[in-house]
C-alpha cells in the first residue's frame, strides 16, 4: 500500500512539473555548422520601404557584428523561393537562416497546404546542411486564413525557431510603416532586433 501511495505521489509531482514548465520544442541544429547568416525571403527581407542600408538584414549585421547576406526578392511566394533556394542559400554555406515567407502566398491566395509544404521543404533542406532556421511568421487577425497556426505546426515539427508574428506592434502604426504592408527604417529596426534576440543564444 505504501508503494502505491508513493507511486501516486510521484505521478502527481511529475504532472505538476509538466504543467508549470511546459516542454520546449527541440531546436534542430542548435549548434549550427556553416559560415554565413543569411536572410531569405520576400520584400520584408529585401527591405522595400527602407532607406539605403536600413533594411533589416543590414541592421541585423550591425547588431551581430557579422556579415549578413540579404537574399530577399520582393513578390516571392514560397514556390518562388524554393526555386532559388540552392543558388541563394544552400550554395552559400548557411549557418543561420532567417526566413520571411508566406505573405505573398496569403495575398495571392495560394492554398495554405501548398504554401506550408513548400516552407517545410525549404526549412528541412537548410537543416540538412547543418543550418539553424528561424522563421518570422505572420499573424493577420481575420485575414490570416490560419497561417499563424501553420507556422507554429511546421516549426514545431521541423525544430525551427519561430517568431510567431514578425509584424507584432509594427503593422498598422503609421510611425513604423512606409506603406500599408512594408515597414519604414524604424519598423525594420524592430524586426532586426526581434530576429537578433532569437539568434543571440546561437551566435
Q: How far apart are CA 81 and CA 67, in angstroms?
A: 22
The per-residue pLDDT for range 109-162, each reduced to its tens digit, is 999 999 999 999 999 999 999 999 999 999 876 465 779 899 999 999 999 999
Q: 30: how many CB neighbours lie within 10 A of its CB?
A: 11
* Residues forming beta bridges with residue 80, ordered by sequence position: none
The per-residue pLDDT for range 86-109, each reduced to its tens digit, is 999 999 999 999 999 999 999 999
The CA distances from residue 118 to 79, 124, 159, 171, in Å, are: 6, 10, 16, 25
- Predicted confidence at residue 38, as pLDDT, reads 98
Mean of per-residue pLDDT scores for the chain? 89
Q: What cell numbers appear for 121 in the block?
A: 521543404
- Predicted confidence at residue 143, as pLDDT, reads 61
- Predicted confidence at residue 145, as pLDDT, reads 72
The per-residue pLDDT for range 40-70, each reduced to its tens digit, is 999 999 999 999 999 999 999 999 999 999 9
- Predicted confidence at residue 153, as pLDDT, reads 97
Complete domains list, the chain, with CATH: 27-202 (3.40.50.1110)
Amino acid at each position: 500500500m505504501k508503494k502505491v501511495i508513493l507511486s501516486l505521489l510521484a505521478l502527481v509531482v511529475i504532472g505538476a512539473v509538466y504543467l508549470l514548465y511546459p516542454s520546449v520544442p527541440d531546436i534542430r541544429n542548435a549548434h549550427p555548422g556553416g559560415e554565413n547568416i543569411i536572410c531569405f525571403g520576400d520584400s520584408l527581407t529585401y527591405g522595400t520601404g527602407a532607406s539605403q542600408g536600413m533594411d533589416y538584414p543590414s541592421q541585423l549585421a550591425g547588431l551581430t557584428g557579422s556579415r549578413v547576406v540579404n537574399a530577399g526578392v520582393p513578390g516571392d511566394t514560397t514556390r518562388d523561393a524554393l526555386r532559388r533556394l540552392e543558388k541563394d542559400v544552400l550554395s552559400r554555406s548557411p549557418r543561420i537562416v532567417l526566413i520571411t515567407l508566406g505573405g505573398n502566398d496569403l495575398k495571392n491566395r495560394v492554398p495554405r497546404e501548398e504554401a506550408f509544404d513548400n516552407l517545410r521543404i525549404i526549412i528541412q533542406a537548410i537543416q540538412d546542411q547543418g543550418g539553424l532556421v528561424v522563421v518570422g511568421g505572420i499573424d493577420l487577425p481575420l485575414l490570416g486564413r490560419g497561417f499563424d497556426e501553420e507556422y507554429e505546426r511546421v516549426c514545431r515539427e521541423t525544430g525551427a525557431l519561430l517568431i510567431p508574428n514578425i509584424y507584432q506592434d509594427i503593422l498598422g502604426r503609421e510611425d513604423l510603416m512606409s506603406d500599408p504592408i512594408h515597414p519604414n527604417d524604424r519598423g525594420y529596426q524592430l524586426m532586426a532586433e526581434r530576429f537578433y534576440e532569437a539568434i543571440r543564444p546561437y551566435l
